[in-house]
Structure 1
Amino acid sequence: MRVDLLTREYPPYVYGGAGVHVQQLARQLRQLVDLRVQCFDGPRPAPHIMGHRAPTDLAGANGALQALGTDLAMAAAAAGADVVHSHTWYTNLAGHLAKLLYGIPHVVTAHSLEPLRPWKAEQLGAGYALSSFCERVALLGADRVIAVSDAMREDVLRCYPELDPDRVVVIHNGVDTDEFAPDPDTAELRRLGVRTDRPTVACVARLTLQKGLTHLLRAAPHLAPGTQLVLCVSAPDTPEIAGQFAAAVREARGLGADVVYVEEPLSRSAARQLLSYADVFACPSVYEPLGIVNLEAMACETPVVATAVGGIPEVVADGETGLLVPLGGDGEPAEPELFAKEFTLRINELLADPDRARRMGRAGRRRAAEHFSWAAIAGQVHDVYRSMRERPEVR
């Protein structure tokens, strides 16, 4: 069976959770099917990876329109596939067109939903209407929609009530517990300017409003004295958001917070060292279908303090592998100051009890290994492919 995975992100150009997901899933699926990966950002050296660029005639056009131009090339290259599997709105239309052109099943993995990310209009401008169109057409026409959490499945059916619930299945994201494991080395941390002589709270995220990073900065001046907050934040949605965040960092420092701001994307070794060294990993997201980075922290035996939104409670077992903080609002906390205070209290609670934090860290690694292995997840995805080949439902 030939399967074409359609994705915007693929190494070496990975900046978010969806890219990590596709990279790890592809590694496992290659053992099960004849896998081709179609991605953005131009050619790759491996023969099974086809990298595409937007047509030159669209240079300077809206970014969403450029993505649609790339989708056309992807759909053409999918000739001969038995199944196409698209990830994120950037490639959803390519999968839908391939389904129509070749009469093959289209699987969509829903990593997020455009109706629940209105702030993306700041990044895409009028292209947000195009991204929303691509997602809607693809999800309603898909033969299967894979939601990365139970909460995500509920969001899919709420945003797209026309969708047949029987076509929506849940297959969680995963983590490579060989790649992410406790690492005592600190060479990468010293290079990044992270001090290794004080309590540390770490946060690794894309610079987008959904990650709730300004709420964490609001909490930073109230962390236990002597604590450093390491923010590894890259890939801003817009230059304006980058500027606003830098100003918020300066403001937090002015109020006495010890903030280390790392703007470069982390290498795997640097991420592993930081997650292993940190006393607490903080995830203040206001929208998070699952949150792979929480799994990565847990695999490195670090307790997590996170917002109780989306699929996070399906990953972080409250009181066992970390602590959850209610958002107290829909999409944003109704009382931001109260939310920041509650987030600080939970972090300080673990900083004040290192033995409890270590127990949570060990429990987190066990949970990551037992419930979120990529091999098991790839097997579930393969079962979805086989079910459609055995009982075709292409419409």
Structure 2
Amino acid sequence: MKVVQVLPALELGGVERGTLEVAEGLVKAGHESIVVSAGGRLVNALEAAGSQHVQWDLGRKSLRTFLQVRPFRRWLEQQQPDIVHVRSRMPAWIVWLAWRGMNPETRPRFITTLHGMHSVNRYSAIMGKGERVIAVSETAKRYLLDNFPEVDPAKVTVIHRGIDPDEFPRGYRPPDSWLETFYTDNPQARDKFLICFPGRITRWKGHLDLVEVIGRLKAQLPNVHVLVIGSDPKGKFLAEVKAAIEAQSLVEHFTFLGTRSDMKELYAISDVMLSLTSTTAEAFGRTVVECLSIGTPVVGYAYGAVEETLSALYADGLVDTGNVEGVVEKIVTLASSTEQRKPDENNFLLNNMIRKTLAVYERFSS
């Protein structure tokens, strides 16, 4: 079986990681794997795992990108893959237009994966046009069917994203060398009750709610300290968050770490992780599952797929969306008790995700 996956680029992110994971699974199962993207820092890892990368920018949001429809159609006709699988809206439009013009008897099967809760419009509707549609959670499936009634529910399959439990092992403790380096670089975090808050610094991730939580929490838990992990992709919101922190005299309670590659260690040293998304819902929420896999509790709003994963793994961490005081109460309880229920063993596993995805490919291409 020959599978082509198409996405905008191979930089960091959940879509990119899922693409690499499926590509590696294909190769290990003896299939041919090709990934089409504009390139990026993950290309070397992709090729080292046995896949072929074809550099082709189909993700640029420009009318000029539609000039690639015919060249891509010719390329598909030459390659003759069994499956073409798209994971992002702009490439999906190009691939769908190219695929639609091919001979229905010989063209590949067209699969889409819905990774995010996009704005509801004609542009986003492309993610429901796959002959088979994979949704990364029940939440993503409900979003698709509720907002795009033309999508046939029978063609939608839920395949939860998954993590490797060996990468985030239960009870992990960072090496002493890492701990010493981290606390030397961040002495303000030593011997504190640490809250992990990962995610891009955007309005919808809940950073302003986080500031309100710490403002109410500091009187009951004066040694609380937040590790904010992530960057501001558009350079617009970070200043607003920092201004809110300064306005409540909370600067000493926050450390901004930027984008990190040592999430396993950061989860492990934290006493709790927060997930406070309340507007644009998470389609899966990988960081929640990673953190729970290590055994660190997560407190999160019951919204989107965070509700789905917390309900399955650590229902004690659920709080009504927007209930800042409820978050504070949960944290205080965690800080004051050694009897709290630990997160259940993770069942959102990478092997399950790969196995189910390959089963869709094989069943659909036969």
Distance 1:372 1:54 in 2: 31
Tell me the residue number matched to 2:324: 340
> What secondary structure does 2:133 align onto?
strand
- The answer as to whether partners of 2:66 and 2:94 remain within 8 angstroms in 1 is no
Instruction: For residue 211 of structure 1, report the CA deviation from its aligned partner.
Output: 1.4
Tell me the residue number matched to 2:260: 266
> What secondary structure does 1:311 align onto?
helix
- The answer as to whether partners of 2:9 and 2:40 remain within 8 angstroms in 1 is no
Q: 1:184 aligns with which of 163, 174, 177?
A: 174
Provide the identity percentage. 21
Judged with a 3 Å threshold, the aligned counterparts in structure 2 of structure 1 residues 76 and 285 are, in CA distance, closer, same or farther, namely: farther
Distance 1:193 1:282 in 2: 20
Judged with a 3 Å threshold, the aligned counterparts in structure 2 of structure 1 residues 294 and 320 are, in CA distance, closer, same or farther, namely: closer
Alignment map for 1:89-238 (pairs within 5 Å): 89-102=89-102, 103-115=107-119, 132-139=121-128, 141-181=129-169, 182-185=172-175, 186-187=179-180, 189-190=182-183, 193=186, 195-223=189-217, 224-234=221-231, 236-238=232-234
Q: 2:308 aligns with which of 311, 314, 328?
A: 314
Judged with a 3 Å threshold, the aligned counterparts in structure 2 of structure 1 residues 51 and 348 are, in CA distance, closer, same or farther, namely: farther
Tell me the residue number matched to 1:381: 357
- The answer as to whether partners of 1:86 and 1:109 remain within 8 angstroms in 2 is yes
Distance 2:81 2:112 in 1: 15
Instruction: For residue 308 of structure 1, report the CA deviation from its aligned partner.
Output: 0.7
- The answer as to whether partners of 2:37 and 2:53 remain within 8 angstroms in 1 is yes
- The answer as to whether partners of 1:151 and 1:289 remain within 8 angstroms in 2 is yes
Distance 2:63 2:316 in 1: 41
Instruction: For residue 261 of structure 1, report the CA deviation from its aligned partner.
Output: 1.1
Judged with a 3 Å threshold, the aligned counterparts in structure 2 of structure 1 residues 30 and 246 are, in CA distance, closer, same or farther, namely: farther
Distance 2:65 2:204 in 1: 24
After superposition, what is the alpha-carbon deviation per residue over 1:114-150, rounded to whole angstroms, capped at 9, x for unaligned? 226xxxxxxxxxxxxxxx54431342x2111111111
- The answer as to whether partners of 2:58 and 2:90 remain within 8 angstroms in 1 is no
Distance 1:112 1:143 in 2: 19
Tell me the residue number matched to 2:275: 283
Instruction: For residue 180 of structure 1, report the CA deviation from its aligned partner.
Output: 1.7
Tell me the residue number matched to 1:300: 294
After superposition, what is the alpha-carbon deviation per residue over 1:290-339, rounded to whole angstroms, capped at 9, x for unaligned? 10111110121111101111122221137846411111xxxxx4xxxxx2
Structure with max Cα Rg: 2
Distance 1:188 1:22 in 2: 33
Tell me the residue number matched to 1:22: 19
* One-letter amino acid of the counterpart of residue 260, structure 2: L
What TM-score results when the alignment is normalised by the length of structure 2?
A: 0.84
> What secondary structure does 1:380 align onto?
helix
* One-letter amino acid of the counterpart of residue 105, structure 1: R
Distance 1:188 1:290 in 2: 32
After superposition, what is the alpha-carbon deviation per residue over 1:43-81, rounded to whole angstroms, capped at 9, x for unaligned? 9453612233479xxxxxxx6228946975766654422
> What secondary structure does 1:49 align onto?
strand
Judged with a 3 Å threshold, the aligned counterparts in structure 2 of structure 1 residues 288 and 42 are, in CA distance, closer, same or farther, namely: closer
Instruction: For residue 188 of structure 1, report the CA deviation from its aligned partner.
Output: 5.6
**Structure 2 unaligned regions, length at least 5:** none
Distance 2:73 2:287 in 1: 31
* One-letter amino acid of the counterpart of residue 183, structure 1: R
Distance 1:249 1:311 in 2: 28
**Structure 1 unaligned regions, length at least 5:** 56-62, 117-131, 328-332, 334-338, 391-395
Distance 1:91 1:389 in 2: 21
* One-letter amino acid of the counterpart of residue 173, structure 2: D
* One-letter amino acid of the counterpart of residue 136, structure 2: V
Distance 1:377 1:262 in 2: 31
Distance 2:181 2:123 in 1: 40
- The answer as to whether partners of 1:202 and 1:229 remain within 8 angstroms in 2 is yes
Judged with a 3 Å threshold, the aligned counterparts in structure 2 of structure 1 residues 383 and 206 are, in CA distance, closer, same or farther, namely: same
Distance 1:300 1:188 in 2: 21
- The answer as to whether partners of 2:245 and 2:251 remain within 8 angstroms in 1 is no
What TM-score results when the alignment is normalised by the length of structure 1?
A: 0.78
- The answer as to whether partners of 1:228 and 1:259 remain within 8 angstroms in 2 is yes
Distance 2:334 2:94 in 1: 46
Judged with a 3 Å threshold, the aligned counterparts in structure 2 of structure 1 residues 39 and 354 are, in CA distance, closer, same or farther, namely: farther
Instruction: For residue 19 of structure 1, report the CA deviation from its aligned partner.
Output: 2.6
> What secondary structure does 2:284 align onto?
coil
Distance 2:356 2:299 in 1: 29
